Structure 1
Amino acid sequence: MLTAEACWLFAWTSALAATVWFVIIVVHRIFFHPLAAIPGPLLGRATYLYSFWFNVWGARFYLQVEKLHQQYGPVVRITPSEIHLSNPSNIEKIYYIGSRYGKCSRFYSAFGSGQATFTIASPDLHRVKRAALNPFFSRKRVLELEEIVQEKVYKLESRMREALAATGRIDLHYGFRAISIDVITDYAFNSCYDFLDRKDFGVEFFSMLRDLSPWYWYFQQFPSLQPLAMATPLWLAKWTSKTLTLMLTYEGACRRQILKVKADIDAGVSKQIARPSIFYQLLQPDASEGYVVPTVEELKCEAYTIIAAAADTTGNALTIAAYNVVTNAEIYRKLTQELRDAFPDIDAEMEFLALEKLPYLTAVIKEALRLSFGVAGRLPRTVPEGGAEFNGHFVPEGTVVSMSSWMIHHNEDIFPNAEVFDPTRWTDKDKSKALEKYLFSFGKGSRQCVGMSLAYCELYVTLGRVFRQFDNLKTRIKTRQELLYDDYFSMFHPEEYNKFYFERSAGSASTLP
């Protein structure tokens, strides 16, 4: 049996050994690491806790990274193993079709969806899994199922009319997100959540996504926490966390739906279904080389990432587009005039193919995508075999390199007066084409968002319909601070600023908060 002195000595030597080991690691990272010559903040070069601090307590590391580039230049070491780039020319070096820059597993594994197409690190495995998804989200498929989008947009229009007649105003922050969720759950899963039918547009679901999101940074910094959290049984979650309970409830419903689809396929029922869901497609054997039918757990992860992506990018873009149109009289006038000219009958159906030919509406959508963000922060990739050179700095294979849409979209050399919502940037065809290669809203290259065609359909049909029907809305002008996002990989307006009320402009002064 150890004496008290022996226990004390053991504890002291253990603490000393840990301290010495930590000092050795820090000294190596700062002075002898392959990235030692790349400038950056001392704490960022020494420890991952630097990025963790700004992610968790500030929720806006993307703004800190912007400041670091102003201080250190176009290449900055932001963690011991990661460099961030601000020069737009580097986009084509990393994010291109066929890129061998795989996703950083340390970063994306924190989602807890390691086998989902979105998070998979290997470019080869991603190619196989993405090939199975592509047909379901192709432009051809979107056009075939456009009536789903049209149906949801008509429903939002109806909700707007009812609210404006009853109370004189409507908050569209969750209304726009409800469109995205109802479309994707109906379109892809054949099991619509019907948030547009709920009085609050399903705010409970969106609050759940937001409340869970900060944990992403904890799971990234402390990976051992993740399996413990994910293994929490429902009965325990009910005692400890309403948010976790909701997540497990939605997961359970999704799992049951997948199991039903699998049972139908095994029983041969799937052949009788007029519009098979994405689960039917992915559970069928695929002829492409390397394809393996996913497990129920893998499909559940696939569903979660698809739904979350639908809520973020499209929902934020619709909100920012509507806000900026309504707060700028000249933009509002030009857009509504273009829609009236193209659709003289206010009750005419507004098809996607017709809407996407309208130059000013297209310009408004592109500018909304530039100034709204599904992901404003970094998109880390791993440098492949042979290493790479960026702005005069050579980095070895295995280095994590990242860029962010926030910095690209705010680059004054590309987008002068970048903070200003200006659709005229996109109205000249040649100039617009040149600028499009810097539009990073859906990512770029092989890992570009699989649902981009569907998202564009939603943007055109929703904004076209709303502004053809409502040409006299108004809303309170927000400050820059109110329009900034909190970054939990997905972007959220702070809860105190996430109300986007719209009311009719005729009559008395605005009562908007």
Structure 2
Amino acid sequence: MSTSIGDIVGSLSPAVVAYAVFAITIVHYAWTVTYRLYFHPLTRIPGPLFARITYLYSFYYNFWNPGRFYMTIEELHKQYGPIVRVTPDEIHLRDPENYDKIYYIGSKYYKSPAFYHAFGTDKATFTTASNEVHRAKRAALNPFFSRKRVLELEEVVQAKAIKLESRIRSALNGEGHIDLHHGFRAVSVDVITDYAFNNCYDFLERADFGVEFFNMIRDFGPGFWFFQQFPATQPIAFGLPFWLVKMVDGPLKRMMMLQNSSREQILRVKREVDSGEESSKTRPTIFHRLLSPDAADEYIVPTVDELKDEAYIIVAAAADTTGNAMTVATYNVVLNQDIYIQLTTELKNAFPDPSANLDFATLEKLPYLTAVIKEALRLSYGVIGRLPRVVPESGAEFHGYHVPPGTLVSMSSWTMHRNEDLFPGPEEFKPSRWMDPSAAIKNLDHYLVSFGKGSRQCVGMPLAYCELYVTLGRIFRHFDNLSTDHKSVEDLLYSDYFSSYHSEKGNKFDFRQAV
């Protein structure tokens, strides 16, 4: 009579079974560590011991440190050189010349599914891993963010910039100071919600510029790193009923609040499209057009779930990067009188009449304003941390190391924009570096990657530039006597929650009239 494995296991005492499970677990982890250290294809690539063994190394610096892994990576490059193994299956590169090998139009390197899945917006164009699927989705979005469309809708940006100017005048004459960090972010969100939904959030009308919304966006940042480390928890978390999630404050609640808000926006637009109300609009919006039945002639009309994810990403992106750049520009210009005088003088010469229309086409031709904006983009970084891509089937070679298919390879704007060979004195806000004829030899623009590069470059870049030129141009043409306090080094550091965020203590940038 044969004895099954189940019979044998059933005859063992619970203590013996527990011991066996424990022993198997220990053997499994011991083998995993041994493999990653000595037999993994990336074994020869240098890096710290714990980074080569476990993903918890990067998780610690991102989740608990908080969001400072990008700074750790910079230190690792100083110790190990231009190529570093930062997780068991990911390498990070420092040499700027490698950027074009990975992030280029038509690149076969594709986005890491595990990394971008953590956003919880798998149906969005931005988080799509496949280059082929991304190409089709991006084709539907491109027309709405083209330079031509941005110029057609410049009045949206102008209206928000004028409103911010009015708020500044009122605050300086009343309270005597104003927090422009959130004011700049309010411009971006008001522009995109007006532009995308024809349903502006009107943060510029709020006394605090909607600071609670921006804190919400920042505060769900740790959830991004948590879901990346523990992906199995994400469907469980998002499967919870919202009434239950609302009872517990935290990143999950904030993520679901924005997702629900995005869905409500799309459903409202869909009702207008289905009823024919959108035909009476003088200005077609992004999502009205995407949901239009006529769109089926150009592309497959997206579902509500797909557009909910698109809306989530578009609004979250608008809340961060452009506002950061405007803050960095204004803070540094106001602190440096030579820069301040040169910029305001250029604007006054270009627009002698203070009541003149400060149009985007004229503003973007001003060399010193352009230099200020580029330097602000360099020091606000856009996405500050690593952007992992999967090595294609052909494999790759970096710095003499063969990198097999499936390996994650990443670079970051933090290391690019702080490269001392390209940007001497990288921590200094120095617009003149963009006007130096000798710098043209290095083509500094090529190494400015605040919006990314290649096929995955930020779709909203033309709109962001319009916001930067129009808003900063208007402020510095009309306010030549602002002052602000120096911030500490710690207050100026960013936490990497994919986008860059100042700490809650350091995220107010108050400006007042100089005495």
Relative to the length of structure 2, the TM-score reads 0.95
| AA at the equivalent of 2:489 | R
> CA 1:112–1:415 in structure 2 vs 1: closer, same or farther (change >3 Å)?
same
Unaligned stretches of 5+ residues in structure 1: 507-513
Structure 1 range deviating more: 353-362 or 242-251 = 242-251
| AA at the equivalent of 1:53 | Y
Given candidates 42, 45, 49, the residue that maps to 1:38 is 45
After superposition, where does 1:201-280 map in structure 2 within 5 Å? 201-241=209-249, 244-245=252-253, 247-280=255-288
After superposition, where does 1:355-504 map in structure 2 within 5 Å? 355-428=363-436, 431-432=439-440, 434-504=443-513
Following superposition, the deviation at residue 249 of structure 1 comes to 4.2
After superposition, where does 1:11-160 map in structure 2 within 5 Å? 11-58=18-65, 59-160=67-168
Question: RMSD in angstroms over aligned alpha carbons?
Answer: 1.8
> CA 1:169–1:205 in structure 2 vs 1: closer, same or farther (change >3 Å)?
same
Following superposition, the deviation at residue 287 of structure 1 comes to 4.4
* Distance in 1, Cα, partners of 2:328 & 2:296: 40
Offset from partner CA, 1:77-128 (integer Å, 9 cap, x none): 1001100000000011011111111000110000001110100000000000
Following superposition, the deviation at residue 5 of structure 1 comes to 7.4
* Distance in 2, Cα, partners of 1:294 & 1:27: 47
| AA at the equivalent of 1:446 | S
* Distance in 2, Cα, partners of 1:145 & 1:431: 34
Offset from partner CA, 1:40-75 (integer Å, 9 cap, x none): 111101110110011111120000000100011101
| Aligned-partner SS, 1:494 | coil
Following superposition, the deviation at residue 281 of structure 1 comes to 2.4
* Distance in 2, Cα, partners of 1:62 & 1:302: 27
Structure 1 range deviating more: 339-348 or 236-245 = 236-245
* Distance in 1, Cα, partners of 2:64 & 2:252: 21
* Distance in 2, Cα, partners of 1:462 & 1:398: 43
Following superposition, the deviation at residue 228 of structure 1 comes to 2.0
* Distance in 2, Cα, partners of 1:410 & 1:93: 20
Q: Check conservation: 1:309, 1:374, Cα contact below 8 A.
A: no
| AA at the equivalent of 1:109 | H
* Distance in 2, Cα, partners of 1:214 & 1:294: 30
Q: State the aligned residue count.
A: 504
| Aligned-partner SS, 2:397 | strand
Following superposition, the deviation at residue 3 of structure 1 comes to 9.5
Matched, 1:10 2:33: no
| AA at the equivalent of 2:491 | E
Offset from partner CA, 1:360-400 (integer Å, 9 cap, x none): 00000000000013311100001111101111111011110
Structure 1 range deviating more: 398-407 or 486-495 = 486-495
Relative to the length of structure 1, the TM-score reads 0.95
Following superposition, the deviation at residue 230 of structure 1 comes to 1.6
| Aligned-partner SS, 1:20 | helix
| Aligned-partner SS, 1:497 | coil
| AA at the equivalent of 1:13 | A
| AA at the equivalent of 1:208 | M
| Runs of at least 4 residues off by over 4 Å | 1-5, 242-247
Following superposition, the deviation at residue 6 of structure 1 comes to 1.1
* Distance in 1, Cα, partners of 2:508 & 2:258: 25
> CA 1:259–1:91 in structure 2 vs 1: closer, same or farther (change >3 Å)?
same
Following superposition, the deviation at residue 247 of structure 1 comes to 4.7
* Distance in 1, Cα, partners of 2:437 & 2:166: 35
> CA 1:460–1:472 in structure 2 vs 1: closer, same or farther (change >3 Å)?
same
* Distance in 2, Cα, partners of 1:394 & 1:3: 49
| Aligned-partner SS, 1:239 | coil
> CA 1:309–1:257 in structure 2 vs 1: closer, same or farther (change >3 Å)?
closer
| Aligned-partner SS, 2:447 | coil
* Distance in 2, Cα, partners of 1:271 & 1:8: 72
* Distance in 2, Cα, partners of 1:304 & 1:90: 32
> CA 1:113–1:250 in structure 2 vs 1: closer, same or farther (change >3 Å)?
closer
* Partner in structure 2 of residue 161 of structure 1: 169
| Aligned-partner SS, 1:160 | helix
Following superposition, the deviation at residue 246 of structure 1 comes to 5.3
Unaligned stretches of 5+ residues in structure 2: 1-6
* Distance in 2, Cα, partners of 1:67 & 1:83: 14
| AA at the equivalent of 1:497 | G
Following superposition, the deviation at residue 13 of structure 1 comes to 0.8
| Aligned-partner SS, 2:124 | coil
Offset from partner CA, 1:112-169 (integer Å, 9 cap, x none): 0111010000000000000000000000000000000000011111111111111111
Following superposition, the deviation at residue 488 of structure 1 comes to 1.3
| Aligned-partner SS, 1:309 | helix
| Aligned-partner SS, 2:505 | helix
* Distance in 2, Cα, partners of 1:264 & 1:168: 44
> CA 1:240–1:113 in structure 2 vs 1: closer, same or farther (change >3 Å)?
same
* Partner in structure 1 of residue 4 of structure 2: none
Q: Check conservation: 1:62, 1:377, Cα contact below 8 A.
A: yes
* Partner in structure 2 of residue 510 of structure 1: none
> CA 1:498–1:270 in structure 2 vs 1: closer, same or farther (change >3 Å)?
closer
| AA at the equivalent of 1:409 | H
* Distance in 2, Cα, partners of 1:392 & 1:260: 55
| Aligned-partner SS, 1:334 | helix
* Partner in structure 2 of residue 511 of structure 1: none
Offset from partner CA, 1:415-463 (integer Å, 9 cap, x none): 0111110001112468358101100100000000000000000000010
* Distance in 1, Cα, partners of 2:264 & 2:506: 36
Q: Check conservation: 2:46, 2:83, Cα contact below 8 A.
A: yes
Q: Check conservation: 1:153, 1:461, Cα contact below 8 A.
A: yes
Q: Check conservation: 2:397, 2:403, Cα contact below 8 A.
A: yes
Following superposition, the deviation at residue 277 of structure 1 comes to 2.0
Q: Check conservation: 2:197, 2:288, Cα contact below 8 A.
A: no
Structure 1 range deviating more: 230-239 or 345-354 = 230-239
